[in-house]
Amino acid sequence: MFSKKRAIAGVALAAGAALVLAGCAGGGEGDAPDTAPTFDPNEKVTLNLAFWGNDVRAALYDEAIAAFNEEYPNITVNSTFLPFPDFWEKRQTEAAGGGLPDVMQFDYSYLRQYAQNNLLLDLDPYLGNIIDTEPLAQNILDIGVVNDTTYGVPTSTNAWGLFTNPVLLEKAGVAEFEGGSWEDYTDWMGEITDAGGGEYWGGSDFSGRIQNFELQLRSEGSYLFSEDGEPGFDEERLTEFWESGQDIRDGIGIPQQRVEEVAPKGGFDSALTASELTWDNFGAGYLSGLGEGYTELGLIAPPVTKEGAKDLYLKPSMLHTISAKTEHPEAAATLVNFLVNSPESGEIFGTNRGLPASETALAAAELDPLSQQVKDYEASIADRLGDAPPVPIVGYGTLEEKFRQLGTELNFGTITVDDAVSQFFNEMDIVLNG
């Protein structure tokens, strides 16, 4: 049997919350077993599983847990979920109190931060026995490694892309974006906004997402942060990026107040914007949010900063990790293996979590048209795919969220670009050097 409950939003943390986390020790060091661990299926245990997502993903996890319990009836799995920002606020609160869930859906951005503070279980003793590694390519397994230790197993991979709404494009009488520069993309959005007359807009301010900044930096031969935590940009470059979104904030993009009114949904899955730059595994959630009348989405490559640049990359859309303080590491590893490798997980999740990283899960996934579209999209951007950046620096998740918050303030018009740049560099100083 299993149970699921809808979690409430975590307690809001101060800007320095990452520093609280940085001071927490999870007690994981030295806990790894000396011999290859095995799981006793007759042992009755209860595991807590936490993930981010929406009602669609929660229903899929319910299905997966039910399938898991057919094979492991003695493991009760209690699952909770939250929207992405709230999920990490709650994890930080739990980390400070020493009470992380047994198994967690995990984001690449936070892996180094939690691993280096001994909050995650060393998974190496479980690889190759409880957690099957045969279906996982070595470069996929390497994604979960920090300082030569495996702390996470990727469920899937994804890439940054541009979703478009064909219904709104037809309504506006505007053709699909044919590619081009960021300026071309802004102009294209403007055509749709003009046609929408305040009913819908071409998109939202792309300068509010740190991933779009990273794409531009990679095109220029730079990066967001090196493995040693050095930023690959200065205040002038960030100012230029945020200023590039001014025309969008001045009327081309959806007003921030309108976005707040439809929260927790966004402008795109509320049929208020015709495009959205995000990870390519978000499509299923968007279609569900859009509802009746929507059977397909457009999915194309993001705008180009420099022709021929290797600006895009495949990343783990998410990983599964285990708390260093779990009382049932073998059972937790058994659940992780099922969620990553089982044919049932591939069939149930499809590409909701990204293209399955496991060959057995991918083979079992019956790709619906949208899932096949994601697979085809990732093949189509092969010429733009470069090496993935190093595992994000400690504190990257905090900086990513700060970037998003400042983007929101810019869209509200409550802060200037110069003030936003100053605040972000102050936050970087705290996170990187504090």
Question: How many whole angstroms separate alpha carbon 348 and alpha carbon 365?
Answer: 7
Question: How many whole angstroms separate alpha carbon 395 and alpha carbon 389?
Answer: 15
What is the maximum alpha-carbon separation in the chain?
67
**CB-CB contact of 52 with 82 (8 Å):** yes
178 contact partners, CB below 8 Å, separation of at least 6: none
CB atoms within 10 A of CB 34: 6
**CB-CB contact of 335 with 47 (8 Å):** yes
- Can you give the pLDDT at residue 34? 54
Nearest-10 crossing angle of helices 329-341, 55-71: 120
Would you give the DSSP letter of residue 234? -
Question: How many whole angstroms separate alpha carbon 242 and alpha carbon 352?
Answer: 31
- Can you give the pLDDT at residue 22? 39
Instruction: Report the candidate in 358, 322, 340, 201 with the shortest Cα–Cα distance to residue 270.
Output: 201
CB atoms within 10 A of CB 327: 11
pLDDT tens per residue across all 434 residues of the chain: 333 322 323 323 233 333 334 334 333 444 445 567 887 878 899 999 999 999 999 999 999 999 999 999 999 999 999 999 999 999 999 999 879 999 999 998 889 989 999 999 999 999 999 999 999 988 788 889 888 899 999 999 889 999 999 999 999 999 999 999 999 999 999 999 999 999 999 999 999 999 999 999 999 999 999 888 899 999 999 999 999 999 999 999 999 999 999 998 999 999 999 999 999 989 988 999 999 989 999 999 999 999 999 999 888 889 999 999 999 999 999 999 999 999 999 999 988 888 899 999 999 998 889 889 998 998 899 899 988 888 888 888 889 999 999 999 999 999 999 999 999 999 999 999 87
**CATH numbers and ranges of domains, the chain:** 2-158+315-370 (3.40.190.10), 160-312+390-433 (3.40.190.10)
Token pair listed for 284: 């299923």
Question: How many whole angstroms separate alpha carbon 90 and alpha carbon 113?
Answer: 15
Would you give the DSSP letter of residue 131? B
- Can you give the pLDDT at residue 5? 28
- Can you give the pLDDT at residue 230? 93
**CB-CB contact of 174 with 201 (8 Å):** no
CA 282 to chain centre: 9
The torsion angles phi and psi of 85, rounded to 5 degrees, stand at: -60, -40
CB atoms within 10 A of CB 38: 12
**CB-CB contact of 152 with 287 (8 Å):** no
Question: pTM for the whole thing?
Answer: 0.74
Task: Point out which residues pair with 106 in neighbouring strands.
Answer: 319
Alpha-carbon Rg of the chain, whole angstroms?
A: 21
Task: Point out which residues pair with 164 in neighbouring strands.
Answer: 275, 298
